[in-house]
């Protein structure tokens, strides 16, 4: 297993409240890592720590290290804009911009100067939509408003928008919670395909989803990592009694 992100003795605080305690997690390259646990246990805080989205919260602070390709992302010299290009985020609810399908995907490359209008941008948009398994559904309606797409298509559009800027890592915070079962399975299939090119970390309350799509799973409880292992092992033979109690429904 090649590690893409190494989390070392990581603590996170909202003012005086310690939300994460002593996190040590290896996140494997080109694999899917799922984070499970009850609401309020720190999963989303941890996910947002991986691309420093928590930096904007007054009083928030981090201690310890998160290494991306061996370099600490909390080093003061790190360019946070560049970091968020390398580590993209897909949110719980689809959040397309009130623009055309084309302009949604082209937004990041334009801002970053990766491509100008014309053939180069057209190719980048097409590749991103193909990468999100959406091209065949929208290729004849690229000028339509993204808000006219159904929720499943909107979420895949947000994934296309994320991969358009060529990230190394994709973070997904409950990406299927607002979708119906058919759209959920479509996004799950897409995750497996994307993992061939990207490192993926997903937060989910759906333990069946974690079991279906992930290679590794971490179980969070009250801001601590109780157990982390290969997904099959964690669900089949958990080492910690608390993990077993949670996945069998006795605690939650």
Which run of H or E residues covers position 213?
helix 207-213
Tokens of residue 28, six digits: 């494997």
* Nearest in space to 159 (alpha carbons), one of 111, 204, 192: 192
User: Which residues, 6+ apart, have CB-to-CB distance to 151 below 8 Å?
Assistant: 94, 178, 179, 180, 183
Q: Which of 171, 233, 173 is nearest to 201 (CA)?
A: 171
Q: Which two three-digit tokens encode residue 238? A: 């958990």
Specify the pairing of strand 224-230 against strand 60-68: unpaired
Q: Where are the domains of the chain?
A: 3-247
Confidence at residue 130, expressed as pLDDT on a 0 to 100 scale: 95
Architecture of the CATH domain 3-247: 3-Layer(aba) Sandwich (3.40)
Residue whose entry in the numeric block shows the structure tokens 């053939």? 119
Distance CA(72)–CA(224), nearest Å, equals 21
Distance between CA atoms of residues 159 and 110, nearest Å: 17
Per-residue tens of pLDDT for the chain, all 252 residues: 799 999 999 999 999 999 999 999 999 999 999 999 998 899 999 999 999 999 989 999 999 999 999 999 999 999 999 999 999 999 988 999 999 999 999 999 988 888 767 888 999 999 999 999 999 999 999 999 999 999 999 999 999 999 999 999 999 999 998 888 888 988 999 999 999 999 999 999 899 999 999 999 999 999 999 999 999 999 999 999 999 999 988 876
What span, in angstroms and rounded, lies between the C-alpha atoms of 202 and 224?
17
**Positive or negative, the Cα torsion across 28, 32, 36, 41?**
positive
So what's the pLDDT on residue 178? 80
Q: Could you tell me whether strands 60-68 and 216-221 are parallel, antiparallel, or unpaired per DSSP bridges?
A: unpaired
Q: What is the pLDDT of residue 116?
A: 67
Q: Which two tokens stand for residue 232?
A: 């099959």
> Edge-to-edge strand order for the sheet containing 71-72?
17-28, 3-14, 60-68, 71-72
pLDDT of residue 252: 64
């Amino acid at each position: 297993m090649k590690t893409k992100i190494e989390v070392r003795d990581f603590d996170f605080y909202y003012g005086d409240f310690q939300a994460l305690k002593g996190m040590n997690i290896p996140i494997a390259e080109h694999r899917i890592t799922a984070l499970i646990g009850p609401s309020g246990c720190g999963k989303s805080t941890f996910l947002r720590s991986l691309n420093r989205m928590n930096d904007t919260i007054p009083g928030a602070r981090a201690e310890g290290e998160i290494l991306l390709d061996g370099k600490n992302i909390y080093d003061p010299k790190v360019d946070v804009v560049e970091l968020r290009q390398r580590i993209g985020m897909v949110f719980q609810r689809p959040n397309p911009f009130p623009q055309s399908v084309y302009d949604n995907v082209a937004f990041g490359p334009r801002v970053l100067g990766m491509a100008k209008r014309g053939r180069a941008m057209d190719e980048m948009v097409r590749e991103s939509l193909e990468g999100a398994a959406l091209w065949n559904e929208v290729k004849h309606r690229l000028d339509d408003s993204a808000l006219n797409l159904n929720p499943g298509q909107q979420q895949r559009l947000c994934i296309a928008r994320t991969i358009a800027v060529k990230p190394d890592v994709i973070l997904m915070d409950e990406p299927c919670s607002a979708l119906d079962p058919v759209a959920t399975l479509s996004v799950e299939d897409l995750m497996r395909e994307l993992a061939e090119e990207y490192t993926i970390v997903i937060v989910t309350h759906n333990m069946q989803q974690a079991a279906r799509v992930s290679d590794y799973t971490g179980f969070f409880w009250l801001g601590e990592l109780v157990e982390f292992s290969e997904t099959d092992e964690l669900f089949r033979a958990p080492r910690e009694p608390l993990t077993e109690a949670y996945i069998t429904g006795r605690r939650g």
